[in-house]
């Protein structure tokens, strides 16, 4: 995939300063680029790299005035960051793998159907009575159980496991090793100290435009559905327990966990390693900081919690700054006591 700098400038509504006939075949960071690549300079903190970059061209703001001499070619645009993102998306669209057809051996159960434009990789397994839409890419070693429905334009990366009865919408992408629909963790204690399994009869429902990272888990509901609503983005190693509901466009970072039956609102952010206990609700637009534990419902939309047991982030940080001085405070208190 090769374009000239001039062609790229045209795509981005920009102007060229330097040799517009050079061939570009890659996008790179300004400080890491090699000849043949194009980078960008949006934050002037990185300006120094412009004067030493090996990129053949750099996208800059139309207002940018260089302070030193440089050897690269400039593409001047209104907003360098947006322009580069646009270029990145065009590049990704053009270079995206589009595997098609069936690699054998693979397993396709009775009474299952799959639409047009599909890929079923070697050693992939699709159970009985599944309904799968168009342009669905099922990579090698993926498992899809019985009675699963999947919409259009979904991608299942290698090793994903989808248990029976799961319902998945369109434009969903799930990365390697993620398990959807395993049993919820429910046991009833017996008089002798042992536990009986509580049967887990429900399923998982993923709506449209959901992204899930690698090695995450979403458990099926005890009854009914564990529900992930439209536009939710989930990172790696995330745990979603049985009967949880995650609201639209909520973002959950790596190693976070949500315990059973909790309901998370819309447009929330759960940062890395945050933990939400079971049977509570978080209002829309709640933000939970990294490592933060949440032990009761959040009523007020737009709340930000932080801390071992999370409370208002500003209040936590003030308390933590005093925590660092606690030995000193203790000494002062002792001195005051002595003076009494």
Residues annotated catalytic, as ranges: 242
| Cβ distance to a copy of itself smaller for residue 76 or 209 | 209
Handedness of CA 118, 166, 213, 284 (dihedral sign): positive
Does 179 participate in binding a copy of itself (rule CB under 8 A)? Answer: yes
Stretch that binds a copy of itself, among 25-33, 42-50, 68-76, 296-304 (CB under 8 A): 25-33
Handedness of CA 163, 164, 167, 169 (dihedral sign): positive
Does 141 participate in binding a copy of itself (rule CB under 8 A)? Answer: yes
Residues 296-315, one symbol each (x = binds a copy of itself by CB under 8 A, - = not), give -----------xxx-x---x
| Cβ distance to a copy of itself smaller for residue 17 or 25 | 25
Does 62 participate in binding a copy of itself (rule CB under 8 A)? Answer: no
Residue 67 CB, nearest approach to a copy of itself (Å)? 25
- Can you tell me which of 213, 245, 282, 283 binds a copy of itself, judged by CB under 8 A? 213
- Dist CA 316 CA 333 (whole Å): 23
Axis-axis angle for helices 326-339, 313-323 (nearest 10):
60
- Can you tell me which of 182, 280, 301, 313 binds a copy of itself, judged by CB under 8 A? 182
Contacts of 35 (CB under 8 A, 6+ apart): 54, 55, 56
Does 29 participate in binding a copy of itself (rule CB under 8 A)? Answer: yes
Residues 300 and 285 sit within 8 Å (Cβ to Cβ): no
- Dist CA 282 CA 249 (whole Å): 14
Which is nearest to 240 in space by CA: 133, 266, 225?
Answer: 225
**For a copy of itself, how many residues bind (rule: CB under 8 A)?**
105
Does 6 participate in binding a copy of itself (rule CB under 8 A)? Answer: no
Tell me the CA distances in angstroms from 162 to 27, 142, 178, one per residue in order. Answer: 35, 8, 8
Residues 103-132, one symbol each (x = binds a copy of itself by CB under 8 A, - = not), give x-x-x-------------xxx-x-------
Residues 166 and 185 sit within 8 Å (Cβ to Cβ): no
Does 67 participate in binding a copy of itself (rule CB under 8 A)? Answer: no
């Amino acid at each position: 995939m090769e374009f000239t700098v001039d062609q790229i400038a045209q795509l981005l509504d920009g102007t060229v300063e330097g040799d517009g006939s050079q061939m570009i075949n890659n996008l790179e960071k300004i400080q890491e680029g090699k000849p043949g690549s194009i980078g960008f300079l949006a934050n002037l903190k990185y300006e120094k790299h412009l004067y030493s970059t090996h990129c053949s061209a750099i996208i800059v703001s139309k207002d940018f005035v260089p302070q030193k001499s440089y050897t690269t070619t400039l593409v001047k645009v209104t907003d360098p960051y947006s322009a580069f993102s646009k270029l990145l998306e065009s590049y990704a669209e053009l270079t995206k793998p589009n595997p098609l057809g069936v690699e054998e051996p693979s397993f396709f159960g009775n009474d299952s159907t799959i639409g047009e434009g599909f890929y079923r990789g070697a050693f992939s397994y699709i159970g009985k009575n599944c309904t799968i839409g168009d342009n669905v890419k099922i990579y090698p070693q993926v498992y899809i159980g019985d009675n699963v429905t999947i919409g259009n334009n979904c991608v299942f990366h290698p090793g994903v496991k989808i248990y029976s009865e799961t319902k998945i919408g369109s434009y969903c992408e799930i990365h390697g090793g993620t398990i959807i629909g395993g049993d919820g963790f429910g046991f009833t204690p017996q008089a002798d100290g042992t536990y009986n399994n509580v049967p887990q009869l429900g399923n998982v429902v993923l709506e449209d435009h959901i992204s899930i990272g690698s090695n995450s888990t979403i458990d099926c509901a005890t009854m009914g559905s564990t529900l992930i609503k439209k536009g939710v983005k989930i990172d790696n190693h995330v745990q979603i327990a049985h009967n949880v509901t995650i609201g639209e466009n909520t973002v959950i970072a790596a190693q976070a966990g949500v315990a059973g039956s909790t309901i998370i609102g819309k447009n929330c952010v759960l940062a890395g390693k945050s933990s939400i206990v079971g049977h509570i609700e978080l209002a829309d637009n709640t933000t939970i900081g990294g490592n933060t534990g949440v032990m009761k419902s959040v009523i007020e939309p737009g709340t930000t919690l932080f801390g071992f047991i999370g409370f208002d982030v500003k209040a936590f940080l003030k308390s933590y700054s005093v925590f660092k001085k606690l030995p000193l405070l203790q000494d002062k208190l002792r001195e005051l006591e002595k003076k009494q």
